[in-house]
Homo-oligomer: A and B are copies of this chain.
Amino acid sequence: MSSRKSPVVVMKFGGTSVGDVTRVKHVADIVMAHRRERPDVAVVVVLSAMAGETNKLVALAKSCVDEPSGREMDVLLASGEQVTVALLAMRLSALGFPAKSLLGAQAKISTSGQHTNAMIEEVETDSIEAVLAEGGVPVIAGFQGVTEGGDITTLGRGGSDITAVAVAAALRAEACLIYTDVRGVYSADPRICRGARLLDRVAHEEMLEMASLGAKVLHTRSVFFAMRYGVPLAVLSTFGGSFVPGVNGTWIVNEDELMEKPVVTGVTHRLDEARLMIQSMPSDISTMARLFSLLGERDILVDMISQETVSPGLVNVSLTVADDQSSVALDIARSSVPELGAGGVSVERNIAKVSVVGLGMRRHTDVAGRTFRALEKHGIDLQMVNTSEIKISVLVARKHCEAAVRALNDEFAPEVSECFDALA
C-alpha cells in the first residue's frame, strides 16, 4: 500500500471522448482544469481507444483469419489504447502538466488468462504511485492487462470502465469519474422521452437493473466492481461542462446513501430481443425441461418466459432471447417440434421490452397495477410480464415502445424529488 497522503481522483474517458485529436485536446483541458481548481488532489486518467478503433482492429483480424487466436487478438486490440494514452500524455506534458502513459502491463494490472475476456485480479499501484510521487499525471491504458506469464490480455465489454474502478479501488480514490457522451443516468431515454430527468443519484442495485434492461451508460461489470469495493462512482458527459450531479453527472451510490428511495427511479427499454413462441406443447415439466436443455446446450440465453394454457395438458410457451441468437433459437425449437410433441414454432421480432426500476418498490404496493393501468390508458397491450424485487418488465409491440416509456415516466415522475430537467 502507498504512503501517499493526498487524495486522488480517477477520471476515465471513453472512446467517443478521445475520438480524434481535437477531443484528446479537450480531455487534456478537463484534466488541466481539475488540477488547477484542486491542486491538492492528484489525478489519474484511464482511457479507451478511439471510438471505432477496436471494431476496425477486429475487422482487420477477421479479414486475416476466420477465428483469430485470443492471445494475438489481445495484442492487436491493446494497440488501440496505446495510441490514445500516448497522445494525451504528450499533450498534458506540453501544457505544463507532466504526465506519463502506462500500458496495462506497466500499470501492473494483473489479470486472469482468459484472452479477450480477462478478469482483473490485482492492481499493484507502485508504478502509478511513482508517477504521482513526481507530481505527474499517470495516463493508464484501459481495457488491458497482463497475465502472470507476461501475456497481454483485454477485459471484454466495458473493460475500460472496469480498469478505472479497479485502479480507483486500489488507490482508495475519493472518486472514480466516468466521462462519456451522456450527462449521466436519466429517468428514461431522453431521446424518446422529453420528460426524462437527469438523476443526481442512483443506487448500485438500480443501476445494475437499468444497465441490464437497456440503459447503456455503464456496463454492469464496473457497477458490480464499484459496489463490491466501495468505490464512489459517477457518470458525466465530457462535453457537458463541470461535474455537477443532476446537471452534468450522476453518482452511483450505496442504497444507504440515498436520502429517499423513489418507487420508480428509471424507465428503460431495449429493442434487441425477439420473442419465440412454441405452440401447443405438452404442459408436463419434463417437456419444458427438455426444451430449455436444448437451448442451453447451444448457449442460448433466455430472458423472459411465460406460458398460457390453450387446452387441457397443452400450453403455448413464449420466451425472449437476444435478437442475434433468435435465428439459432428458432432452428433449435423448430427441429425439436416432433421430439417435444408441440404444434409449431414462430418468432416475433417487432417487440420492445420496457421496464420500471426502483428500490422503493420493495416498500410500495400496487406498482404493477399502476404500470398496467398507465399502459392500458394509452391503449398499449402487454405480451409478457417479468418482475423482480426492484423492477417490472413488460413486453410490448415495438411500435408502442416510445409511448410506453413516456407513459411510465409520466406516471411515476411526480413521486420523485424535483430534479433538473436536462432537456428543458
Q: What CA separation (Å) do A64 and B152 show in the bound complex?
A: 27
A64–B106 contact, CB under 8 A?
A: no
A309 within 8 A of B: no
Residues of B within 8 A of A57 (CB): 83
For the complex formed, measure the closest distance between the CB of A59 and the CB atoms of chain B, giving whole angstroms.
10
A21–B75 contact, CB under 8 A?
A: no
Q: List 8 A-B contacts (CB under 8 A).
A: A60-B87, A65-B94, A72-B86, A75-B103, A76-B82, A76-B83, A105-B105, A127-B150
Which single residue of chain B is at the shortest CB-CB distance from A98? B69
On A, residues with C-beta under 8 Å from B are 21, 24-25, 57, 60-61, 63-69, 71-73, 75-76, 78-79, 82-83, 85-87, 89-91, 93-94, 100-101, 103, 105-106, 127, 150, 152
Report if A72-B93 is in contact (Cβ < 8 Å); known contacts: A79-B83, A82-B79.
yes
**The residue from B69, B79, B150 contacting A89, defined by CB atoms under 8 A apart:** B69
Number of copies: 2
**The residue from B64, B78, B85 contacting A82, defined by CB atoms under 8 A apart:** B78
B93–A87 contact, CB under 8 A?
A: no
Q: What CA separation (Å) do A161 and B113 show in the bound complex?
A: 33
**The residue from B64, B67, B71, B85 contacting A87, defined by CB atoms under 8 A apart:** B64
Residues of B within 8 A of A67 (CB): 94
A94–B79 contact, CB under 8 A?
A: no
Residues of B within 8 A of A93 (CB): 65, 69, 72
**Top 3 closest A-B pairs, CB basis?**
A76-B86, A72-B90, A75-B86
Known: A21-B63, A24-B64, A76-B82. 4 other contacts (CB 8 A): A21-B64, A66-B94, A68-B94, A75-B101
B82–A75 contact, CB under 8 A?
A: yes
A65–B78 contact, CB under 8 A?
A: no
